[in-house]
Amino acid sequence: MGAREWLSRGGRAAAAAAPASAPASPSAASAAAAPAPSAAARSTGERLKATLRRGPEALSPRALRRTLAELQGVVDGRVSEVEGARRAEALATWYAAASPEERHDCWLLMSEHFGPDQAQVRAAREAYEKALGTPDEAQAEIRLRRAYVSPRTRLLQRFSGFPAGMRFLVDLRAELLPRLKADKRLLPLDAELESLFSTWFDVGFLELRRISWDSPASLIEKLIKYEAVHDIRSWADVKNRLDSDRRCYGFFHQRLEGEPLIFVEVALTDAISDSITPLLDEGAAPSDLAKATTAIFYSISNTQTGLKGVSFGDALIKRVVETLKDEFPRLKTFCTLSPIPGLRGWMAKNAPADLLQALDDPLHLPAKSPQRAQLLAWAARYLARELEQGKPCDPVARFHLGNGARVERLNWAADPSPKGVKQSYGLMVNYLYDLKRLDRHRAMLAQGRVAVSSQVESLLD
């Protein structure tokens, strides 16, 4: 899902030769001679040995040492930031051509050899503890905090210092994430990346931009690629979603130019939508904007796997609501039309077998069949009562309810697509963003209660 453009520039072909002849950085020699700045003293040898347990595609012991020296050269305190960034860029060029195994080794080096200097940390901590309550406490706290800023942080910051460096780091993490479970040694690197991304991609640094049919084709192509809720089938499909009665907004970051980090698709209507079908109908005439009272958020997609854990969605929705209210003062209702991706799976574990069987072909159930009513009741219960560690267990519900929305309405046959039937028997749900109650709803949720409309409430009895 995440874009891997940066990494795919090089490719596997050049990899075999790379470790032997490479690291291309001009500073290899001098850097190698330098002692590793911090954790090195204690454990370089042992740690390197531990790293060298990998297969035939991995770095040779010699290449491993050389790569470590390269990495140390990047954070070498004696070179300028500018030179450090240049070295980081050279390493990234090597990385682009490296094999998956070589990359894994590179991650291990970054994760295991650039931790905080234990001796320094210990000294700072002891000083801090002595200082607690004295006039020196403040200074001691500062020194302790600095001791904890690991060389790994500086290493990654230097990678962000060349133009394509941010793309490199985001793609690196996207590649790293699926390996974390199998190799916990990578966790510190991942945590360091997440921590830096949280600061760099803080909402204050994101730019909200409207995406329209007048946006660059290269950008609209990315909507097609990244759309995660209702697949975009063609250019005609995406053009319909950017028609005069629609709005699409994304968050952009100056260091990932042309890349929407997240985007939301909105339809402006005169009532809360109860089906996705007309919204995706390319042939439907656009509705009359002058009569629009309601904004339907019908799709929201994250695009960068590598930014996992950095949340944009809540801020995006709230900024979009403000932007829409400025443009269309008549808008009164802000509401989603959302899938319920976990419903069928949860039902399979919890609902009686006879109901499940009756729901085999839900779209053709008669209007007044008892199974319809039962399904709606189960769905209401799923959304409004099923919490895991205090949070809604449906992932989409978790997002919107966590933002302070409430469960407004369940809609029968609202998504008759195979995916919709497979996920939730064709059901979709509206989450209502009542701007005056968002924080009240969040507070309720913090106490384990999900906010629902009276209509949904009635399904729960």
Question: What are the backbone dihedrals phi and psi of residue 24, each rounded to the nearest 5 degrees, phi first?
Answer: -75, -15
Q: Which is nearer to its own copies, 378 or 431 (CB)?
A: 431
CA distances in angstroms from 324 to 46, 107, 276, 330, listed in the order given: 58, 44, 21, 10
Separation of CA 97 from chain center: 26
Question: What are the backbone dihedrals phi and psi of residue 2, each rounded to the nearest 5 degrees, phi first?
Answer: -65, 150
Question: Whole-angstrom Cα distance, residue 183 to residue 186?
Answer: 6
Separation of CA 133 from chain center: 41
Q: Which is nearer to its own copies, 79 or 351 (CB)?
A: 79
CA distances in angstroms from 341 to 185, 269, 375, 382, listed in the order given: 33, 25, 15, 11
Q: Which is nearer to its own copies, 122 or 291 (CB)?
A: 122
CA distances in angstroms from 116 to 63, 184, 200, listed in the order given: 24, 18, 21
Q: Which entry of 215, 338, 424, 441 is annotated as an active-site residue?
A: 338
166 belongs to the binding site for its own copies (CB under 8 A):
yes
Q: Which is nearer to its own copies, 142 or 228 (CB)?
A: 142
67 belongs to the binding site for its own copies (CB under 8 A):
no
Stretch that binds its own copies, among 2-10, 183-191, 274-282, 370-378 (CB under 8 A): 183-191
**Within positions 318 to 347, which residues make up the interface with its own copies, using CB under 8 A?**
318-319
- The answer to whether 275 is a known catalytic residue is no
Residues 6+ apart with CB under 8 A from 289: 244, 245, 268, 328
Count of residues binding its own copies (CB under 8 A)? 69
Question: Whole-angstrom Cα distance, residue 234 to residue 367?
Answer: 34
Question: Whole-angstrom Cα distance, residue 80 to residue 16?
Answer: 32
The helix (run of H) or strand (run of E) holding residue 29 is helix 28-33
Quote the tokens at residue 257.
């130019």
Mark 425-444 with x for binding to its own copies (rule: CB under 8 A) and - for no binding.
Answer: -------------xx--xx-
Q: Quick one: which of 54, 185, 381, 437 contacts its own copies (CB under 8 A)?
A: 185
Radius of gyration (Cα) for the chain, nearest Å?
A: 26
23 belongs to the binding site for its own copies (CB under 8 A):
no
Q: Which is nearer to its own copies, 74 or 365 (CB)?
A: 74
HSE at residue 456, side-chain half, CA atoms within 13 A, is 23
Stretch that binds its own copies, among 5-13, 53-61, 74-82, 416-424 (CB under 8 A): 74-82
5 belongs to the binding site for its own copies (CB under 8 A):
no
38 belongs to the binding site for its own copies (CB under 8 A):
no
Stretch that binds its own copies, among 198-206, 292-300, 336-344, 417-425 (CB under 8 A): 198-206
Q: Quick one: which of 8, 139, 455, 458 contacts its own copies (CB under 8 A)?
A: 139
83 belongs to the binding site for its own copies (CB under 8 A):
yes
- The answer to whether 338 is a known catalytic residue is yes
Q: In the complex, what is the shortest distance from the CB of residue 187 to its own copies, in angstroms, rounded to a whole number?
A: 4
348 belongs to the binding site for its own copies (CB under 8 A):
no
Instruction: Characterize the bridge pairing of strands 246-253 and 387-388.
Output: unpaired
Q: Which entry of 104, 113, 253, 400 is annotated as an active-site residue?
A: 400
Q: Quick one: which of 184, 291, 419, 422 contacts its own copies (CB under 8 A)?
A: 184
150 contacts 114 by C-beta, under 8 angstroms: yes
Question: Whole-angstrom Cα distance, residue 272 to residue 408?
Answer: 10
Contacts with its own copies by CB under 8 A lie at: 27, 78-83, 85, 111, 115-116, 118, 125, 132, 135-136, 138-139, 141-142, 144-145, 148, 157, 160-162, 165-166, 184-188, 191, 195-196, 199-200, 202-205, 207, 213-221, 235, 239, 254-255, 258, 314-315, 318-319, 403-404, 438-439, 442-443, 446
Q: Which residues are catalytic?
A: 338, 400
